[in-house]
Structure 1
Amino acid sequence: MKLKQLLFGFLFFSAFTANAQKNTKEVLFTIDDKPYYTDEFSRVYKKNLDLVKDESQKDLNQYLELFVGYKLKVNRAYKLGLQNNSTYQNELKSYRSQLAKNYFNDTKITQELIEEGYNRLQKEVKAAHILILVDESASPEDTLKAYKKIQDIKLRVDKGESFEELASQLSEDPSAKENKGDLGYFSAFRMVYPFENVAFTTPRGQVSKIIRTRFGYHILKVNDIRPNRGEVTVAHIMTLNPKPEDADQEKAKNTINDIYKKINQGEKFEDLAKQFSEDKSSSGKGGVLNKFGSGQLSSEEFENVAFSLKNSGDISQPFQSKFGWHIVKLIERHPVRTLDEMKPELETKVGRDERSKKITASLNDKLRKKYKFKKEAKEYAALAKLVTNDYYENKWVYPTNADTFTAAVLKIENTPVSGKTFLEFLEKQQKSGIAVKPIGKAVEVLFERFIDEQLSQYYDANLENEFPEFSFVMEEYRDGLLLFDLMEKEIWERSKNDTIGLQKFYDETKVNHLWKKRVEATIYSSTKQDIIKKVQGLIKKKASAQEIKDKLNTKDVINVMSNSGTFEEGNQVLPKGIKLETGTSDIVKDGEYYFITVIDKVLPEGIKTLEECKGKLTNEYQQYLEQNWVDNLKKEFNIKVNNDVFEKVKKELK
C-alpha cells in the first residue's frame, strides 16, 4: 500500500483541497474519441507545479506529453479489463473508505478529545492488569461467565490477596505468567480508550473497578504516576550479541569495553561509532538515532539508560540489551511539545481509536437533522413480529422468506430501504447481546441504530455529489490503482522475470556499472603518534593484528584498534590521502587520529558482474521498458490533440 501511495504522489496527482474550483472546460485531446478536458489538465498542473523537481515537467509541452502518456496507460488498463479485478475493486473501496473519513468528523467533539488526550500526555502511568477474555460478540452466557470470573478475582483483591500473584495465576493475558500483569509505563493513545480512561482516573496504589474493552473484562492496578519523560535524541555504539555458534562468546563485550576505554581516553564518540559500531543504520551518522519516547523502542533496557542521562554529552557505561552491547551518548532532550505543535498528530490518533465513537454519535445527530427520513409503520410492524426471545440467546433464525420483504421499511430522501435490509441488520446485531426487554422494545432500539447506519450509508454514497473535491480525488485514485496494476503486470514483473532481456540489457550497458579500485586491508588507528609508530615497527616484524593489540593495549588503556575488510576507493573508513597500493602505508593523520594501513591486495577497477549491480540495473531496465512501452501505446491508440485549445490553456497558465 505504501508503494502505491508513493506512486500516486509521484506519477499522477496529489489530492485536491476543499478550495478546488470549477473551470470552464473544453476538450483538450481525445484517445480513441474519448474526450479529456482542459479543467482537469489545468487543475493537476497547478497542484503539482511546486511538487515536481524536474524542471522539464514544468514545461507545459512536456507536461502534456506526460499527461497524455498517463491517460494512455489508463486506457490500456481498461482495455485489458483490469478494472474488473476483485483485488482492484477491494483496494479502491478501501481507499475510498480512508478518504471518506475526513467527511465523517465533528470539529467540536474532536477538539475536546484532542485536549483530553494532550492533558493525559503530560503523564505516564505504570499499571498492571488482570484480563479475562471474552469476545465483543460473545453470547450472553459466555459474557456473564467471564464477568463472574473477573468479579470473583476483584473480590479476592479487595480482601487483600496479592494482585500480582492473582495476575500470574488467573489472568488470561499470555504474558501475565512472566510479568505478573505488569504493563510498564504508558501515556495516552497507547492503550484502548476505555482502558486508558480508567488508568488515568484511578489513584496511585489503587485497584480500578471492572472495565470491559474489546478484549474482555479487566481490573487494573495503578502502581505509579510520573511526569512524561518526553523524548530523547541519543547516539550509540553497538556490538552485536554473539551467535551460539561463535567461537569467541566474549568478543562483543570485550570490544565495547575497549571502545569505552578509548572514549575515556578522550577520543571522539562519533569517530568511534563510524569505525566500530555494528548498527549500520546509524554508524555513518556518528551513531545518532531518531528521537524516541517511553515504550517506542523494543528494548526497555536501552530506553531506561537513554533517559537516565541528564545533560547533553553525557555518556553511559557499556550495557547489554537483547540486541547487543551498547554505549549511549545523550544528544538532546525533547520535552512534551505544545498543544498547537501536536494538534495534527493528535487529530489523526483520535480518529483511529475508540474515541471516534463520540464523533460518530455527533455525526448521527447531524445526519438526522440533515436528511428527511420516514419509518414505514406497517412494514416495520410485520418485521418486528418475526423477532422472538431466541434473539437474546443468539438463537434467532434469519427468516427463510426474507427475500419477499422488498417493501420499504425506511425512506431517506425518498430513497427506499427494504425490509430485507433491516432483517439482515438484525441478524448481524444479534451477536452484540442486546439486553433490553421485552423483545419488542429491543427491536425498537435496534431500529434506531438501523436508521443511524442507513443515514450514514446514504451520506457516504452521496459524497461525490455533495463534495466536488472528493469526486476529483476518487477519480484519480481509481485511475491510479489501475495504473499501478498495469505497471506491475507489463513492466515491473517483466523486469524481474525476464532474465534473457535483463542479460541483454546488461551486455549493452555494463560499461556504466563499474567498481572503483578496491583493497583488502587492515587499518590501525590511534590518537597517539608514538603508539602508531610502534604499530609500524611491529608490522615490519610481521606481527598480526591481534598480536599488535595484545602488545600495545593494556587492561585499562586501549591504545590501538584495527579494522579489516575489503574497502572501495572513497569509503569513509579509509584514511584520507592513502595510496591504494599493496604494502604498508605511511602514517597518516586525519583529525585527532593517526592511521597506518596494511594493504594485502589491490583489486583493480572493473565492470561489475550482473549479480553485483542487479538492483540498480533492474531499475534502469524498468525505465527502458517503460519508455518503449509508451511509444508503442501511442501507436495502439488514436490520439488527437486540439492545439488551438492547448495554446489557450498555456496562456491562461502562464
Structure 2
Amino acid sequence: MKISRLIILVFLLVQSFLFAQNKEVLFTIDNHPYYTDEFLRVYNKNLDLVKDDSQKNLDNYLELFLGYKLKVEKANKIGLQYGVSYQTELKSYRTQLSKNYLNDSKVTNKLVQEAYDRMQKEVRASHILVLVDEGASPEDTLKAYNKINDIKNRLSGGEDFVKVAQKFSEDPSVKDNNGDLGYFSAFRMVYPFENAAFNTNVGSLSKPFRTRFGYHLLKVTDKRDNRGEITVAHIMIVKPTVPDNQLEAKAKQTIEDVYQKIQQGEAFETLAQQFSEDKSSAPKGGVLQRFGSGQLSSEEFENVAFSLQNNNDISKPFQSQFGWHIVKLIDKHPVQTLDAMKAELEEKVRRDERSMLITNSLTKKYRAKYTHSSNQKMLTAVKKTVTADFYAQTWETPLNLRDYNKTILTIEKVKDVTAEDFLNFIQVQQKSKIKTAPVSKLVDELFEKFVDEQLTVYHTDNLENEFPEFKYVMDEYRDGLLLFDLMEKEIWTKAKMDSLGLANYFEQNIKNYQWKKRYNVNIFSSTDKKIIAKAKKFLDKRKSVDYIKEQLNKDGKINVMVKSGLFEEDYDILPSYNKLVKGVSSVATKDQYHFVVEVLEVKEIEAKKLTECTGKVINDYQQFLEANWVDELKKEFKIQVDQAVFQKVKNQLQK
C-alpha cells in the first residue's frame, strides 16, 4: 500500500483522542496555519496502527502529515470542496456518524433485550404481499387494504395458502418460493414483519399488517431453537454455465472422485486447494465465513452443513443450484450471551426500523433540554391558510409567502424558524394521510410534530459544538474525502487513461515485469508411492493422461489425480526439482503426497507483455506519479515550519 494511501486510511479511523495541552502554530501552507493539537492528536491516535517504524519517527511523520495537508490545500485550491458528489457524500457521512450521538439508552436496552430474546428462536413463515407505497393515496391504500382482507377471507374459508399466494401475491419471488421465506430470526426482516412472525403461533395466520412494501398476510409454519452460526469448509465443482449433459456428468464424476480420495484418508484441505472451483475459499482449504440460517442463497447447502454433528464430520457429495459440494464441519457457534452480543445488537437496533422508537423518546428529551418558544400570532395566521383540501392531499401553500417569512419558532434564543418553513412542512405532511379534524386541531398537531423535528435538527446541527470528538472526526473525514477526490483526478484516473505514459513507464521498467521460467505440465499426484511409480512407467511409454487414470483408478478407488497447465517454476511441487526438462521427471515427495511431472514444454525467463500485467503496471505507475507530484506541490505552495514549536512537540511526546 502506498504511504499516502495508508495515511488517508488511518486518518479516517475513529480511535481514542489524546489532546495537546497547548495549541501553537506548527506550520503554515500559504499562510494557512496548522496547529500542534491536531498533529499530536492524529499522531497519538494512529501510533499503534502504523506498522512501519519509519513513520513513527516524528521527523518522518511530519513530512507525511505535511504532504497530506499539501494535497488537501491543492484540493481546496482547485475547488473540489464545491463538487456536488463531494458535498453529498460528506453530508451522508455526517448523517451516519451523527446516529452515534442520537440515542436513548433506556429504550435501546429494551429493544436489545427484545431482539436477543427473539434470537433464541428461528421462525419459518410464508407470506402474501399486496404492494402499496408508503405515500399512496387514500384510494389506493384502501384498495390494497380491501384486497388483503379479501385474500384473508379466502384463507379463513379454507383455501390452500400456496395456491392463493401463487394467484394473488405481488411479491415477485412467489413464482419461485410459493411465498415461503424459509427460516429467519431477529433482524432478518423489516421490524413490523418480524413482530408479526414472532407474535403469530405455528399454523396460524396473522392479521393483515403493513410494512413499507405494502400489506401482508403471514402464516407461520414452524418455530425452532436457533441453530446459531456455523463454520464449514467445502469443496465445490461449479455447475456448467449452459446445459450440457457431458459437462454435468464430468462435474459429478469429479466430485465423486474427490470424495473417494477423502474416504481413502487424503486431507480435505489439500484436496480443496487443488480441486475446489470456489476461488475465494479454495486457497484457505475451502473454509467459508461463518453463517446462520437464511444467510446463504442455498437452503440445501445450509441444511447439509447444519446436519453435521461433530467437528471434522464430512458430508457426502450433494448438489445445490450452484454445483456439487462436499462440506466439512469446522465449528458450531451457538447464540452468545447477551453481554457478549450487546454492542453488536445496539448497532443493529440503530440501523433498524426499531430506531424510530428511540427517535420518539429523544424528541421528548430535546424538548426538556432546549428552550423554545412559539409565536402564537403567526400560528394563528398559518391556521387561516390551511383548508380541508389537506385531507385530499390537494392543499397548496399561499402564493405570496412574503407575509410568512416571520419567526414562528425560536430555539435557544439563537435559531429562528419561519412560518414559511412550517407551511412547507404542512404541505409535505399531506402524504402522511393524517385524519385529525377540524383543521385548526390538525394544524396544532402538525405544529407539535414540526417542533420535534426542528429540535432534532438543532441538536444534530450543533453536534460539533457539543461533542469535540465529533468535530475532529468530521474534520478528518472532510480532508480525507477531498484527498480521495484529488487523487482520483490527479493520479489514479491519469494512470489508467494515460496509455502513452503507461506504455513508456512499462518499457523503462521492463525488468520489473518478467515471467519466471514456466512449464507446460501434467502433474500426477498420489499418496501411494507405488502408484506414482506406475504412472511414471506409463509416462515413459508415452501413454496419455486419460489412459493412465483409467489404468490406475480402478475398483471404485481414486489412486491418482492430475493437474494440467502452464505454471511458473515456483508452483506447488515444481521447486522440488533441481532442473526440469522436457519429458518425464523423477518421483518427488511433498508432505504426504508423491508426484511425477510430465513436462510438455519449457518456457525460459522472458519479459511479460503489458497486457499480461496491466494491473500491476498501473499500480506502480500511480506510485511513480504520486511520488513526483508531492515534490511539485512543495514548489507550488509556500511552506513554513516552526522548528522551535516542533521541538516542543518532540519533547512533549518523549516524556
Shorter-normalised TM-score: what interval?
A: over 0.9
Match of 1:243 in 2: 241
Q: CA deviation at 1:466?
A: 1.4
| Pairing of 1:175-574 with structure 2 (within 5 A) | 175-244=173-242, 248-414=247-413, 415-554=415-554, 556-572=556-572, 574=574
Spell out, residue by residue over 1:290-324, the C-alpha distance to the aligned partner (whole angstroms, 9 max, x if none): 21111111211111111111111211111111221
TM-score normalised to structure 1 length: 0.96
- In structure 2, how many angstroms separate the alpha carbons of the residues matched to 1:364 and 1:137? 24
Question: Match of 2:321, SS?
Answer: coil
Spell out, residue by residue over 1:114-161, the C-alpha distance to the aligned partner (whole angstroms, 9 max, x if none): 111111111100001111111111111111111111112222222222
- In structure 2, how many angstroms separate the alpha carbons of the residues matched to 1:190 and 1:628? 50
- In structure 1, how many angstroms separate the alpha carbons of the residues matched to 2:402 and 2:558? 84
Counterpart among 154, 170, 173 of residue 156 in structure 1 = 154
Q: CA deviation at 1:485?
A: 0.8
Q: Given that residues 575 and 590 in structure 1 are in contact (C-alpha distance below 8 angstroms), is that contact kept between their aligned partners in structure 2?
A: no
Q: CA deviation at 1:15?
A: 3.0
Q: Identify which range, 360-369 or 375-384, moves more after superposition.
A: 375-384
Q: Given that residues 10 and 46 in structure 2 are in contact (C-alpha distance below 8 angstroms), is that contact kept between their aligned partners in structure 1?
A: no
TM-score normalised to structure 2 length: 0.96
- In structure 2, how many angstroms separate the alpha carbons of the residues matched to 1:8 and 1:212? 48
- In structure 1, how many angstroms separate the alpha carbons of the residues matched to 2:356 and 2:18? 30
Q: CA deviation at 1:341?
A: 2.1
Match of 1:132 in 2: 130
The one-letter code matched in structure 2 to 1:602 is V
Q: Identify which range, 604-613 or 641-650, moves more after superposition.
A: 604-613
- In structure 1, how many angstroms separate the alpha carbons of the residues matched to 2:298 and 2:37? 53
Q: Given that residues 573 and 590 in structure 2 are in contact (C-alpha distance below 8 angstroms), is that contact kept between their aligned partners in structure 1?
A: no
- In structure 1, how many angstroms separate the alpha carbons of the residues matched to 2:330 and 2:168? 44
- In structure 1, how many angstroms separate the alpha carbons of the residues matched to 2:11 and 2:101? 24
Q: CA deviation at 1:440?
A: 2.0
The one-letter code matched in structure 2 to 1:258 is D
- In structure 1, how many angstroms separate the alpha carbons of the residues matched to 2:348 and 2:606? 53
Q: Given that residues 579 and 585 in structure 1 are in contact (C-alpha distance below 8 angstroms), is that contact kept between their aligned partners in structure 2?
A: no
The one-letter code matched in structure 1 to 2:306 is F
- In structure 1, how many angstroms separate the alpha carbons of the residues matched to 2:409 and 2:499? 61
Match of 1:640 in 2: 640
Q: Given that residues 20 and 469 in structure 1 are in contact (C-alpha distance below 8 angstroms), is that contact kept between their aligned partners in structure 2?
A: no
Q: Identify which range, 425-434 or 342-351, moves more after superposition.
A: 342-351
Q: Given that residues 38 and 649 in structure 1 are in contact (C-alpha distance below 8 angstroms), is that contact kept between their aligned partners in structure 2?
A: yes
- Cα distance change of structure 1 residues 149 and 345 upon mapping to structure 2, 3 Å threshold: same
Q: Identify which range, 639-648 or 467-476, moves more after superposition.
A: 467-476
Q: How many residues align?
A: 650
Q: CA deviation at 1:612?
A: 2.0
Q: Given that residues 132 and 172 in structure 1 are in contact (C-alpha distance below 8 angstroms), is that contact kept between their aligned partners in structure 2?
A: yes
Q: Identify which range, 7-16 or 320-329, moves more after superposition.
A: 7-16
- In structure 1, how many angstroms separate the alpha carbons of the residues matched to 2:520 and 2:397? 76
- Mapped pair 1:36 → 2:34: yes
Question: Match of 1:12, SS?
Answer: helix
- Cα distance change of structure 1 residues 248 and 192 upon mapping to structure 2, 3 Å threshold: closer
Q: CA deviation at 1:593?
A: 2.2
- In structure 2, how many angstroms separate the alpha carbons of the residues matched to 1:41 and 1:591? 52
Match of 2:114 in 1: 116
The one-letter code matched in structure 1 to 2:25 is V
Q: Identify which range, 352-361 or 26-35, moves more after superposition.
A: 26-35
Unaligned runs of 5+ in 2: none
Q: Given that residues 120 and 200 in structure 1 are in contact (C-alpha distance below 8 angstroms), is that contact kept between their aligned partners in structure 2?
A: yes
The one-letter code matched in structure 2 to 1:398 is T
Q: CA deviation at 1:94?
A: 0.9
The one-letter code matched in structure 2 to 1:265 is Q
Q: CA deviation at 1:215?
A: 0.8
Q: Identify which range, 158-167 or 463-472, moves more after superposition.
A: 158-167
Q: Identify which range, 33-42 or 531-540, moves more after superposition.
A: 531-540
Match of 1:24 in 2: 22
Q: CA deviation at 1:232?
A: 1.3
Match of 1:105 in 2: 103
Q: CA deviation at 1:584?
A: 0.6
Question: Match of 1:238, SS?
Answer: strand
Match of 2:584 in 1: 584
- In structure 2, how many angstroms separate the alpha carbons of the residues matched to 1:393 and 1:323? 51
The one-letter code matched in structure 1 to 2:613 is C
Q: CA deviation at 1:21?
A: 4.0
- In structure 1, how many angstroms separate the alpha carbons of the residues matched to 2:505 and 2:591? 45
Match of 1:57 in 2: 55
- In structure 2, how many angstroms separate the alpha carbons of the residues matched to 1:16 and 1:539? 62
Q: Given that residues 168 and 179 in structure 1 are in contact (C-alpha distance below 8 angstroms), is that contact kept between their aligned partners in structure 2?
A: no
Spell out, residue by residue over 1:204-235, the C-alpha distance to the aligned partner (whole angstroms, 9 max, x if none): 11111221111111111110001111111111
- Cα distance change of structure 1 residues 573 and 383 upon mapping to structure 2, 3 Å threshold: farther
